[in-house]
Amino acid sequence: MTRRAAWRPGATIAPGYEAIARIHRSNVFDVYDAWSLEREARCIVKALRPDRLAEPAKRRRLLAEGRLLESLSHPGIVRGYETLTRPEPLVVMETLTGETVSHLVTRRARPLSAHELAFLGLHLASAIGYLHSRGFLHLDLKPSNMVAENGRAKLIDLSLARRPGRARPGFGTWCYMAPEQARGGQVGEPADVWGIGVVLWEAACGDTPFGDESVEYPQLEGRAPALRSERRLPAPLAAIVDRCLEPLPGDRPSLPELRQALEPIAGARG
């Protein structure tokens, strides 16, 4: 197979889609701002990097993500427009106008308030609860995988989403995966509750609670620091985030319990 180059502005990505700019590159994927001739509107096109095109597993993973996104309809999950198989696997999604939560937390001079943290948690719990109702786990919740747009957090990457069951060790992102993901084995809904907890901890403190690069998986070496040891926050908020980060899946709250704890905080400003 001849390796194609990255698409330059104005290049045809696929029939009906023209590249405007490449806006992100990961280890596996390229993400493009693109123009849809049919819709007469901008959209996002997710593609495999040129050096990954010959890898069947990566092709299947991208197509699975696209088909899943097309089947979902929730305000907290990016909308999937179309999944193409030719000339190569491509996923077409709606364009979002906000910024990633990671960028938001880094940019702001002041950390998110307790009210804002609670709203973020509620939005994530709603989107993840809907995904669970469709029989899928997310398994890669992190601030860079969600966009803050018009006061709502929206998940933009479902590339690791899968059914509950056994997972290989290290299935996820190093410092964000639940202990059972790092260790490998049975993975269920509590793994995503852990992911929400890590996101809220980082949004509150500006850094992940598991950033020790001297060990392979810091979440297997010890507990997350208690949130109130890092920042003064209402005790109920800190307590529910700490519970989300319990090492044993059965000790974490359910999503309904998490929502019940966050709702009074989200509804009380000041």
Q: Which residues are catalytic?
A: 140
84 DSSP β-pair partners:
90
Question: In Å, how far are 1, 5, 14, 83, 94 from 90, measured between CA atoms?
Answer: 18, 15, 9, 6, 13
| Nearest C-alpha neighbor of 156 from the set 170, 141, 169 | 141
Q: What is the CA radius of gyration of the chain?
A: 19
- Eight-state DSSP code of residue 220: G
| Nearest C-alpha neighbor of 182 from the set 249, 129, 124, 121 | 249
Residue 157 CA, distance from chain mean position = 5
User: Within 10 A of 262 (CB to CB), how many other CB atoms are there?
Assistant: 26
